[in-house]
Amino acid sequence: MSGPHSPTMTIETATGASPSMVLNMGPQHPSTHGVLRVVLELDGEIVMKADPQIGYLHTGIEKSCESKTYSQVITLTDRIDYLAPLSNNLGFCLAAEKLIGLEVPKRAQYIRVLLTELTRITSHLVWLGTHAIDLGAMSVFLYSFREREEIMKIYEYVSGQRMMTSYFRIGGLALEPPPGWLDRVARVVDSMPGHIDEYETLLTKNRIWLARTKDVGYLSAADAIALGASGPLLRASGVPYDIRKVFPYSSYDEFDFNVQTQTAGDCYARYQVRVAEMRESVKIVKQAMEKIPSEGPFRAEAPGIIPPSREEMKTSIEGLIYHFKIFTEGFAPPPGEVYQAIESPRGEMGVFMASDGSPKPYRVHFRTPSFVNLQTLRKLCEGRLIADVVACIGTTDIVLGEVDR
């Protein structure tokens, strides 16, 4: 290994003088789901060492946050994990609310739960489709994207955006959800269990699928904890750690759902966990639909932090002043630091935020699950065939935007 500032990238080899071969996989490789580069050290077809190289999508989001107001940062959080923008919105908003000490109305909390669970379904659908394509099962992709599209239409109907929703705001939601939106949600979630059955008929007992995923990419519970793995990756190794249960946020303690675990710790177990999680999410969405009151505030009452309604801004002088102040300089939370974690589709999405009492965050750090989970890749691949590397990358369910930020 050479020094940190050496002009060329250095790759250490595990075997020293052995006749091994170094193969560069990615960053332009269809199965790396973006711009992941893995340096593989091979002995024939056996992977001796896999070294992920990241940073190709680094956009300095954390630095950009420091020159934006708290509300403006929400748009950046969409772009961290672009397959689960609402989960990121939620993590950031909860952290800011904790910093300010803001209580969000129950109605907004339930709507947040409903939408983040739909996000979990869409995210797992993308994972399922792309992972299956990587392993040669083309058709699952076509089915899973069909359902994803229906949920994307709900996002568009509710927030005006399919992907970069920025729908959750500090203190509640951006807008009152449009009339009839719950009917659309009901149509999707009612058909969802049947669709999940369809994917399962294609994969669960498929002999090729079993051969490609069973006993591939084994991760023990001890290794998963030591490497900081979270989300389905950890639960498939038998650790029932789900932040929605352990540190409930946004009223998750009022919902009835089970934490899905498997003990095998291989790619197939992670497949089972994610499929089962989609079914649990459907359950949560259905409960949320019953809980959401048809009327009530969709954001907290906090003058100076939450923008006043249009009506109030036009008719009262305080409303006008607050509106002007919030949109020109933002609001200033009291100084302090918070760490807020949520269970994103990929695992523990943590937001560490430090305020110095100014309207812009002094420091925002995103503890993204993909970044940490990717560290397990070395463990998953070593001693396996090259073909299994594809299965292992797919099964960690990384989003490169989130890895590099």
Q: Across the beta sheet with 46-53, what order do the strands follow?
A: 21-25, 37-43, 46-53
The distance of Cα 133 from the centroid of its chain, to the nearest Å, equals: 21
From residue 145, alpha-carbon distances to 118, 126, 194 in Å are: 14, 7, 15
Tell me which of 24, 28, 44, 101 binds another protein, using CB under 8 A.
Answer: 101
Q: Which of 13, 27, 98, 259 binds another protein (CB under 8 A)?
A: 98
Q: Which stretch binds another protein (CB under 8 A): 94-102, 111-119, 260-268, 389-397?
A: 94-102
One-letter identity of residue 296: G
11 binds another protein (CB under 8 A): no
Residue 166 CB, shortest distance to another protein, in Å, is 21
Q: x/- site string to another protein, residues 62 to 81, per CB under 8 A?
A: xxx-xx--------------
Tell me how far, at minimum, the Cβ of 324 lies from another protein, in Å. Answer: 26
Regarding 7 and contact with another protein (CB under 8 A), the answer is: yes
The residues, any chain, with a CB within 8 Å of residue 36's CB and separated by 6 or more, are 26, 27, 29, 52, 53, 54, 56, 374, 393, 398, 400, 403
Q: Report the residue from 42, 163, 182, 225 that binds another protein according to the rule CB under 8 A.
A: 225
* Count, residues near another protein per rule CB under 8 A: 51
Asked whether the beta carbons of 34 and 21 are under 8 A apart, the reply is: no
Distance CA 106, CA 342 (A): 18
- 177 close to 115: Cβ distance less than 8 angstroms: no
**Chain Cα centroid distance, residue 256:** 22
> Pick from 333, 312, 332: which is nearest to 323 by CA?
312
296 binds another protein (CB under 8 A): no
| CA dihedral sign, ordered 230, 235, 238, 240 | positive
Instruction: Determine the residue type at 168.
Output: F
| Spatial distance between the Cα atoms of 35 and 53, rounded to a whole number of angstroms | 9
218 forms part of the interface with another protein (CB under 8 A)? no
Q: Which of 27, 238, 303, 336 binds another protein (CB under 8 A)?
A: 336
Of 28, 160, 339, 357, the one binding another protein by CB under 8 A: 339
Using rule CB under 8 A, residue 112 touches another protein = no
Q: State the Cα–Cα distance between residues 3 and 207, nearest whole angstrom.
A: 48
Assess 302 for contact with another protein (CB under 8 A). no
Given a contact cutoff of 8 angstroms between Cβ atoms, the answer to whether 149 and 46 are in contact is: no
Rounded to whole angstroms, what are the CA distances from 111 to 105, 297, 389, 401?
Answer: 10, 12, 39, 26
Name the residue nearer to another protein (CB basis): 34 or 319.
34
Nearer to another protein by Cβ, of 63 and 187: the residue is 63
Check binding of 324 to another protein (CB under 8 A). no
Interface residue with another protein among 264, 338, 385, 386 (CB under 8 A) is: 338
**CB of 34 vs another protein, minimal distance in Å:** 14
34-42, 115-123, 133-141, 242-250 -> range binding another protein (CB under 8 A): 242-250
Indicate which single residue of 72, 182, 247, 286 sits in contact with another protein (rule: CB under 8 A).
247
Distance in Å, CB of 58 to another protein, minimum: 4
For residue 261 the two structure tokens come to 């675990």
Sole window of 76-84, 160-168, 226-234, 382-390 interacting with another protein (rule: CB under 8 A): 226-234
Residue 314 interacts with another protein (CB under 8 A)? Answer: no
Cross-sheet strand order for the sheet of 336-344? 336-344, 347-355, 363-367
Name which of 326, 358, 354, 352 is nearest 339 in CA terms.
352
Q: How far is the CB of 348 from another protein (least distance, A)?
A: 6
170 makes contact with another protein (CB under 8 A):
no
Whole-angstrom distance, CA of residue 84 vs CA of residue 399:
10
4 in contact with another protein (CB under 8 A)? yes
| 259, 240 contact by CB (below 8 A) | yes
Binding mask 349-378 for another protein (x = CB under 8 A): -x-x-x-------xx-x-x---xx-xx---
What is the binding site for another protein (CB under 8 A)? 1, 3-10, 12, 54-55, 58, 60, 62-64, 66-67, 98-99, 101, 225-228, 239, 241, 246-249, 336-339, 341, 348, 350, 352, 354, 362-363, 365, 367, 371-372, 374-375, 404-405
